């Protein structure tokens, strides 16, 4: 748990402070010899235009932060509302919403995100929309299962017996008691969104040059992988580290929010 918290905090710092600690502008050329290997002057080497790879990786961090945050907000918001309405209302509405969710789940996520992003025009904004429209299904199903578990409890039955409005009961009482698993899912999806956006950028459907998004940096350096391995490797390691950090952070958050797991950990300690 401590490792996840430390790595997550480190990446949040890089996301927020990356541009301010980068030694060079991301698009400044000839700051060093082209295709120069890692050195004291250029920690991650230089690319084919003499740009500092270290600076480009740091200045691509806020882009990844924006991708992860917007995907989680859009997908989590849409999916949670659909899951809440579906689970609490039940009946034909539940059936229609879940069958619509099944239709989205029938397509491979990356392929569907690629189709949506390409249809909207290759850009980082299109990639965000495409990924969000793919990832909402997980939130919908997760929230629905939590709501189904909550709405049969005594406090909900008592509220209905006392004549509480269904909308108020769902929004004020059921939702606050059902959000914890979706919060963990959002943490895990943060890293996954960065990975999917990098994949879309790698194949040309996401961020476009000269934007220093990590997937675009890997794509731009793949032709130099034998002569200048550092150009694609260091952005790739940044992606790997982000996904690992937020997966560990999600596991740590789950342990903190799940009373049964927390009690088990305390007994073992």
pLDDT tens-digit series, residues 75-115? 999 999 999 999 888 888 889 999 989 888 888 888 899 99
For residues 190 and 248, give the distance between their C-alpha atoms in angstroms, rounded to a whole number: 12
CB 224 within 8 A of CB 218: no
Q: Is 52 helix (H, G, I), strand (E, B) or coil?
A: strand
Structure tokens at 105: 């789940």
Q: Helices 214-221 and 53-89 sit at what angle, rounded to 10 degrees?
A: 130
Q: Is the pTM of this model over 0.95?
A: no
Cα distances (Å, whole numbers) of residue 157 to 154, 164, 169, 171: 5, 10, 10, 15
CB 169 within 8 A of CB 156: yes
What is the per-residue pLDDT for 200?
Answer: 93
Cα distances (Å, whole numbers) of residue 98 to 4, 6, 118, 183: 34, 38, 27, 21
What is the per-residue pLDDT for 180?
Answer: 81
What is the per-residue pLDDT for 268?
Answer: 42
Task: Specify whether domain 2-258 bears CATH 1.20.58.100.
Answer: no
| Residue in 219, 248, 213 with CA at minimum distance from that of residue 232 | 219
Per-residue pLDDT of the chain (269 residues; tens, 9 = 90+): 567 677 778 888 888 887 888 889 888 888 888 999 999 889 999 998 999 999 999 999 899 889 999 999 999 999 999 999 998 888 888 899 999 898 888 888 888 999 999 999 889 999 999 999 999 999 999 999 988 888 878 788 787 787 777 777 888 888 888 888 888 889 889 989 999 999 999 998 888 888 899 999 999 898 888 889 999 999 999 999 999 988 888 887 877 776 554 554 445 44
CB 234 within 8 A of CB 228: no
């Amino acid at each position: 748990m401590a490792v996840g918290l430390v790595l997550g905090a480190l990446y949040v710092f890089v996301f927020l402070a990356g541009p301010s600690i980068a030694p060079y502008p991301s698009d400044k050329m000839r700051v060093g010899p082209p295709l120069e290997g890692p050195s004291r002057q250029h920690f991650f080497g230089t690319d084919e235009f003499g740009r500092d790879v270290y600076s480009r990786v740091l200045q691509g961090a806020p882009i990844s932060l924006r991708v992860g945050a917007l995907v989680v907000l859009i997908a989590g918001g849409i999916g949670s509302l659909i899951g809440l309405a579906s689970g609490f209302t039940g009946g034909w509405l539940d059936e229609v919403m879940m069958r619509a969710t099944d239709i989205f789940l029938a397509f491979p996520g990356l392929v569907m995100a690629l189709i949506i992003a390409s249809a909207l025009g290759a850009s980082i904004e299109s990639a965000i929309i495409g990924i969000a429209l793919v990832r909402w299904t997980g939130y919908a199903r997760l929230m629905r299962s939590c709501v189904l578990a909550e709405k049969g409890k005594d406090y909900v039955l008592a509220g209905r017996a006392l004549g509480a409005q269904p909308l108020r009961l769902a929004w004020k009482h059921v939702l606050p008691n059902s959000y914890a698993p979706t919060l963990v899912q959002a943490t895990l999806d943060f890293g996954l969104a960065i990975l999917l956006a990098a994949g879309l950028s790698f194949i040309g459907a996401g961020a476009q040059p000269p934007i220093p998004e990590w997937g675009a940096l890997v794509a731009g350096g793949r032709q130099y992988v034998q002569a200048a391995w550092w150009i694609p490797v260091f952005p790739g390691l940044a992606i790997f580290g982000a996904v690992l950090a937020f997966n560990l952070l999600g596991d740590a958050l789950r342990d903190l929010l799940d009373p049964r797991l927390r009690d088990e950990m305390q007994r073992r300690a």
